Amino acid sequence: MSTGRLFVVVGPSGVGKDSLMREAVRLRPDLHLVRRVITRPEAAGGEDFEGVSEPEFAARLSHGDFVLHWRAHGLSYGVPKAVRAVLDAGQDAVLNGSRAVLRETQEAFPNLVVIHVTAQPRVLAERLAARGRESADDIARRLKRAAMPLPEGLNKVVEIDNSGDFASGVQALLDALRPLGAKPGDIRYEPQDA
């Protein structure tokens, strides 16, 4: 039985999940950041991920390399099964997940904690436009999908509104990711010097 907890950070594209997670892991080096495998070039930016071709992804899937996998936005996503060894060793891990596979994720990881990051539609639209990866039509589709509710029956869900300033969002995520026995605010966000 795993003693580590898997924190799955979910929310619509543009909500700031990757930026929040990077800062949280910087302040909590004891957290393992799960590096997803995605059929997108690594040069596309955003999160730290392993970019592979569709044929390579399919081959790895057929070899059982992923504990979870899904398709979204025309891409394939996989979570390497090595995350189980991290959790079995008692280390907490954080994963940029998908709302569409949360039931499957909870079945695979009973100690799952879902962190649902949201933001106001205007904020999402601005962030999506600023990153420059999607067309106006793609942004409209992503905004429509942003309202997708979480499935019912999840064991533990923490809601974070990331519409405001970055520091508040990071602190909310740190509080959600806090080690067992710690209280909210025990780990304080300290911005890196520019």
13 is known to lie in a ligand binding site: yes
- Is the pLDDT assigned to residue 129 strictly greater than 60? yes
Within a domain: residue 94?
Answer: yes
Interval 61-107: pLDDT, tens:
999 999 999 998 789 999 999 999 999 999 999 999 999 899 999 99
- For residues 114-134, average pLDDT: 87
In the prediction, which pLDDT does 79 show?
96
Percent of the chain with pLDDT over 90: 56
Q: What is the dihedral of CA 119, 16, 54, 37, to 10 degrees?
A: -130
Which of 4-13, 22-31, 56-65, 176-185 comes out lowest in average pLDDT?
176-185
Domain annotation covers residue 183: no
Summarize pLDDT for 16-37 with one digit per residue, the tens.
Answer: 898 899 999 998 889 999 999 9
Higher-scoring residue by pLDDT: 130, 63? 63
- Residue 54 confidence (pLDDT): 96
Residue 151 assigned to a binding site = no
Annotated binding residue 15:
yes
With respect to residue 125, please indicate whether it lies within any of the assigned structural domains: yes
pLDDT recorded at residue 12:
86
Nearest Cα to 169, choosing from 30, 47, 33, 9? Answer: 9
Between residues 66 and 141, the one the model is more confident about: 66
Tell whether 90 is in a known binding site. Answer: no
- Portion of the chain with pLDDT greater than 70, in percent: 96
Find out whether 34 is annotated in a ligand binding site: no
121-131 vs 136-145: helix crossing angle, rounded to 10: 140
Q: Within a domain: residue 15?
A: yes
- The reply, when asked if residue 74 is annotated as ligand binding, is no
Query: Do the domain assignments include residue 47?
Result: yes
CATH number at residue 49: 3.40.50.300
Report the domain count for the chain: 1
Q: Which residues pair with 93 in a beta bridge?
A: 6, 32
What average pLDDT does the segment 183-188 reach?
79
Up-side HSE of residue 41: CA atoms within 13 Å toward CB?
3
Tell me whether residue 187 is in a domain. Answer: no
Residue 55 has pLDDT above 70, yes or no: yes
Flag whether pLDDT at 112 surpasses 80. yes
Task: Quote the pLDDT of residue 141.
Answer: 82
Report whether 11 belongs to an annotated binding site: yes
Which domain covers residue 107, as residue numbers? 6-176
Query: Does residue 37 have a known ligand-binding role?
Result: no
Please indicate, yes or no, if residue 189 is contained in any of the structural domains: no
40 is a domain residue: yes
Instruction: List, in sequence order, every residue forming a beta bridge with 95; answer none if it has no partner.
Output: 8
Quote the mean pLDDT of the chain: 88
Split at pLDDT 50, 70, 90, the class of 2 is low
For residues 148 and 158, is the Cβ–Cβ distance under 8 A? no
* 154: nearest Cα among 124, 115, 180: 115
